[in-house]
């Protein structure tokens, strides 16, 4: 397996793990790290041994956004290239057939929080802090934060997070519907991997189609077309040998 400088990749027990690894910089993302993250995501997406993927960060942070020193010194061309690479990163997570889980172990701010928002689910340590603080730099989130956030919570909460740029704790994010589960910090990674492990045991074809259809519900396609797609998908799965075997096994168990 390839060795990276700013991330670590591991495939174990059907779980692909991508670990941000710049702990001395709170895993702040520079251009090299972005390139490596994109490569790591594609590696896990294309690895048949990984049924589910988990992202977390080394040290005290998940990711504290972009590396501001490098970010602030970019030329216009470098800035545009950085933004374009960001689109590729989020698209690689959202477009994957397998589910991605953000395991937010600490600070997830700016681009770090946007990466978490692009994942299918978020679990968080009880010491995690999340937010979009770009307003303090007279900027706005540039990685889809203004749009992905509204897909998960109401507009008033979105505006509060964006306008004030504050950091919000895991319990608040759970109550607002952004975080799926909050785990105590001293058992966080164990619980996060247990959560991912349960998901890895679900049939991958069903999970892939469930992810696709759930994401399709957020598009502007006509509702009737979405329902038609769902009907065609369940028919195709029903006729597949995997489902037929599972159905017959269920019937046999119920008859005992």
How far apart are the C-alpha atoms of 59 and 152, rounded to whole Å?
27
Q: Is 224 a catalytic residue?
A: no
How far apart are the C-alpha atoms of 63 and 77, rounded to whole Å?
24
Q: Is 160 a catalytic residue?
A: no
Catalytic residue, chosen from 39, 77, 78, 114, is 114
Contact between 162 and 141 (Cβ < 8 Å): yes
How far apart are the C-alpha atoms of 18 and 55, rounded to whole Å?
5
- How crowded is residue 128: how many other Cβ atoms within 10 Å of its Cβ? 28
How far apart are the C-alpha atoms of 21 and 183, rounded to whole Å?
22
Catalytic residue, chosen from 134, 171, 191, 228, is 134
Q: For the CA atoms of 217, 219, 222, 226, what is the dihedral angle to 10 degrees? A: -30
Catalytic site residues?
Answer: 114, 134
């Amino acid at each position: 397996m390839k060795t990276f400088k700013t991330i670590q990749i591991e495939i174990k027990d059907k779980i692909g793990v991508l670990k941000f690894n710049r702990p001395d910089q709170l895993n702040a993302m520079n251009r090299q790290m972005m390139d490596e993250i994109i490569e790591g995501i594609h590696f896990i997406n294309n690895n048949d041994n990984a049924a589910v993927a988990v992202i977390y960060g080394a040290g005290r942070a998940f990711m504290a956004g972009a590396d501001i020193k490098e970010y602030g010194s970019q030329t216009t061309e470098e800035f545009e290239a950085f933004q374009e690479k960001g689109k590729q990163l989020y698209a690689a997570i959202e477009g994957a057939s397998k589910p991605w889980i953000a395991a937010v172990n600490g600070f997830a701010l700016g681009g770090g929080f946007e990466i978490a928002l692009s994942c299918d689910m978020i679990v968080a340590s009880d010491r995690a802090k999340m937010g979009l603080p770009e307003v303090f730099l007279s900027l706005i989130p540039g990685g889809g934060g203004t749009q992905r956030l509204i897909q998960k919570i109401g507009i008033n909460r979105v505006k509060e997070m964006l306008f004030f740029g504050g950091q919000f704790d895991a319990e608040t994010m759970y109550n607002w519907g952004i975080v799926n589960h909050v785990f105590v910090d001293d058992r966080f990674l164990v619980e996060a991997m247990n959560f991912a492990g349960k998901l890895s045991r679900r049939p991958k074809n069903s999970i892939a189609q469930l992810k696709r259809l759930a994401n399709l519900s957020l598009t502007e396609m006509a509702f009737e077309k979405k329902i038609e797609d769902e009907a065609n998908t369940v028919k195709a799965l029903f006729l597949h040998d995997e489902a037929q075997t599972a159905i017959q096994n269920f019937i046999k168990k119920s008859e005992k």
